[in-house]
């Protein structure tokens, strides 16, 4: 296929953005005109669920097209094996010019700081996993601050994550947009189609570095309120695990409603800035005469529960605010204003991009059998499910010692989403065994996930049928993972996770 027959591809990703944060998804009080316009010009996917509710495993899935057992990244500080191949690498094999601006995070940050993944595939690699930086780690954004805003760079060195409000012109989201525009208009190889990923850190916590001007764009009185923030854990499965997650990074028992409100406002203000800067990139694409031949995809790696159900950020519990994300696709010549209700996952982006670039169904199926082309609604419907796995993925803080690390004993869980139901199974049983090991929610009649049907006699057959499907699927995943290795032993060191925060 000639390069002129293949579209350019622009992937726009955010970090920790829940699905109900955009006007096009019905959110009130928010300010997202550019992303709403992108949805009106393309396709909005209404039921996109992540493969893991924490950055590293989810992003490893997005870039490889695989689920956790097959890419081997289970925890936040694990390393993606050297023999895995990111889809950007495959694009280079067919002549695409490639660029990454911002966050990759297919391995723990300190692993990525030591060196690039050998098959990441990017010619331009402006790596910035976090605007705040780490001790001894330099990033493209911090280098840019050194050149443009030396005083703010000094504040980052002194205060780290808690630097406070930043001006628009010095924000990481603005930097990412500026560098993306520079690539699109001046720095790409014009004799080739391009793939460019602009990957920003926000609206990730700590929620307080948004430009204050962004807050003025919100209607705070109409922003969504906290859902079931004071719901007792003793009516849920594995209540002791909920208690541990509740206090993992911030003790919810001492968090005031006023402070939580400020966090939620900051979260939406950060999204308003993201929308502004994405608008800037999309306008540049149009001015450069590239929009008519560019596939644009917008997605996030997972959500943020933001105090709903008495929990914060993300973790082992599979409520929609954590596991359901926005996904928008605008393709050249596509039908505008579509909404797709078929279940999909961010790892479907890999197959979508490769099929758009001219790779065959057979090639893509061999590389990533779980990934589907998002443009093929029938293929999504035939698959008919979404799965999310948590395998002691995140870290917390021990209440007494203050030590950061993976939970001990570990937290494990699996979500299976099919039809109108969501099934959640927790594989870490409570000490007494008195509680049901899971949840079954009818998402059609109980969208806020308040009524657990696990022990409801009228739903026992449905529960058992979904349990069987989930178990069979997990067995297939395990078999595929073993087929990738020799005699069941991984060919590369896939499981070298760190026990302390990086």
Q: What is the mean pLDDT of the chain?
A: 91
Q: Round to whole Å and give the CA distance between 52 and 328.
A: 19
Coil, strand or helix: which one is 25? helix
Residue 230 has pLDDT above 60, yes or no: yes
Residue 207 located in a structural domain: yes
Q: Round to whole Å and give the CA distance between 413 and 389.
A: 6
Residue 428 located in a structural domain: no
Residue 90 located in a structural domain: yes
The CATH number given to whatever domain includes residue 331 is: 3.40.720.10
Q: Round to whole Å and give the CA distance between 395 and 438.
A: 22
Alpha helices for 346-459 (secondary structure H) = 348-356, 361-367, 377-383
The pLDDT score that the predictor gives to residue 52 is 98
For the chain, counts of helices (H) and of strands (E): 16, 14
Q: Round to whole Å and give the CA distance between 451 and 434.
A: 18
Q: Round to whole Å and give the CA distance between 98 and 193.
A: 9
Residue 468 located in a structural domain: no
Cα-trace Rg, the chain:
22
Q: Report DSSP state, residue 137.
A: B
Vertex 450 angle, CA 446 and 455, to 5°: 95
Residue 413 located in a structural domain: no
Find the domain containing 156 and state its range: 3-232+248-384
Instruction: Give the residue from 103, 211, 200 showing the smallest Cα distance to 164.
Output: 211
The pLDDT score that the predictor gives to residue 144 is 97
Q: Report DSSP state, residue 224.
A: P
The pLDDT score that the predictor gives to residue 488 is 41
At 423, the pLDDT band (50, 70, 90 cuts) reads: very high
Q: Which residues does residue 298 pair with via DSSP β-bridges, in sequence order?
A: 12, 328
Q: Which residues have CB under 8 Å from 497's CB, separation 6+? A: 74, 75, 76, 77, 78, 79, 108, 406
Instruction: Give the rounded distance of the alpha carbon of 180 from its chain centre.
Output: 20
What's the structural domain count of the chain?
1
Residue 422 has pLDDT above 80, yes or no: yes
Residue 37 has pLDDT above 50, yes or no: yes
Q: Are strands 194-199 and 8-14 parallel, antiparallel or unpaired?
A: parallel
Q: Which of these ranges, 107-116, 367-376, 396-405, has the smallest mean pLDDT?
A: 396-405
Residue 281 located in a structural domain: yes
Q: Round to whole Å and give the CA distance between 15 and 293.
A: 27
Residue 129 has pLDDT above 60, yes or no: yes
**pTM tops 0.85, yes or no:** yes
- For residue 10, give the H/E element and its range: strand 8-14
Vertex 315 angle, CA 435 and 415, to 5°: 60
Residue 441 located in a structural domain: no
Residue 215 located in a structural domain: yes
E-strand ranges in 270-341 read: 294-300, 324-330, 338-340
């Amino acid at each position: 296929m000639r390069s002129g027959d293949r579209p350019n591809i622009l992937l726009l990703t955010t970090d920790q953005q829940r699905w109900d944060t955009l006007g096009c998804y019905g959110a009130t009080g928010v300010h997202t005109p550019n992303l709403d316009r992108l949805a009106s010009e393309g396709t909005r996917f209404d039921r996109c669920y992540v493969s893991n509710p924490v950055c590293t495993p989810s992003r490893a899935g997005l870039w490889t097209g695989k689920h956790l057992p097959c890419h081997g990244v289970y925890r936040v500080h694990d390393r993606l094996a050297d023999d895995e191949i990111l889809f950007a690498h495959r694009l280079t094999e067919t002549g695409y010019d490639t660029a990454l601006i911002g966050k990759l995070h297919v391995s723990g940050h300190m692993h990525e700081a030591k060196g690039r993944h050998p098959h990441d595939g990017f010619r331009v690699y402006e790596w910035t996993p976090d605007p705040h930086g780490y001790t001894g780690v330099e990033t493209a954004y911090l280098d840019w601050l050194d050149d443009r805003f030396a005083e703010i760079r000094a504040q980052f060195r002194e205060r780290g994550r808690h630097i406070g409000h930043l001006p628009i012109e010095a924000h990481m989201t603005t930097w990412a947009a500026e560098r993306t525009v520079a690539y699109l208009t001046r720095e790409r190889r014009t004799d080739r189609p391009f793939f460019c990923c602009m990957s920003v850190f926000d609206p990730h916590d700590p929620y307080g570095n948004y430009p204050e001007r962004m807050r003025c764009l919100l209607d705070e009185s109409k922003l969504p309120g906290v859902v079931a923030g004071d719901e007792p854990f003793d009516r849920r499965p594995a209540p002791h695990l909920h208690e541990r997650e509740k206090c993992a990074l911030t003790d919810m028992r001492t968090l005031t409603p006023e402070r939580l409100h400020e966090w939620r406002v900051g979260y939406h203000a950060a999204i308003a800035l993201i929308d502004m800067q994405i608008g800037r990139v999309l306008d540049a694409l149009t001015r450069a005469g590239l929009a008519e031949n560019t596939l644009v995809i917008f997605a996030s790696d997972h959500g943020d529960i933001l105090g709903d159900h008495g929990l914060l950020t993300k973790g082992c519990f599979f409520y929609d605010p954590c596991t359901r994300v926005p996904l928008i696709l605008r393709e050249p010549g596509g039908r505008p204003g579509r909404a797709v209700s078929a279940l999909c996952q961010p790892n479907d982006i890999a197959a979508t991009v490769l099929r758009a670039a001219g790779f065959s169904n057979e090639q893509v199926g061999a590389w990533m059998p779980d990934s589907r082309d998002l443009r093929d609604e029938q293929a999504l419907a035939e698959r008919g499910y979404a799965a999310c796995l948590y395998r002691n993925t995140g870290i917390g803080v021990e209440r007494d010692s203050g030590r950061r690390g993976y939970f001990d004993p570990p937290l494990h869980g699996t979500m299976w989403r099919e039809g109108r139901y969501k099934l959640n199974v927790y594989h870490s049983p409570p000490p007494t065994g008195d509680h049901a090991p899971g949840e079954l929610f009818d998402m059609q009649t109980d969208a806020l996930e308040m009524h657990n049907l696990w022990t409801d006699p009228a739903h026992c057959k449905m529960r058992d049928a979904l349990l069987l499907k989930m178990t069979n699927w997990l067995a297939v995943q395990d078999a595929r993972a073993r087929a990738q290795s020799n005699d069941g032993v991984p060919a590369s060191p896939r499981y070298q996770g760190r026990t302390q925060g990086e």
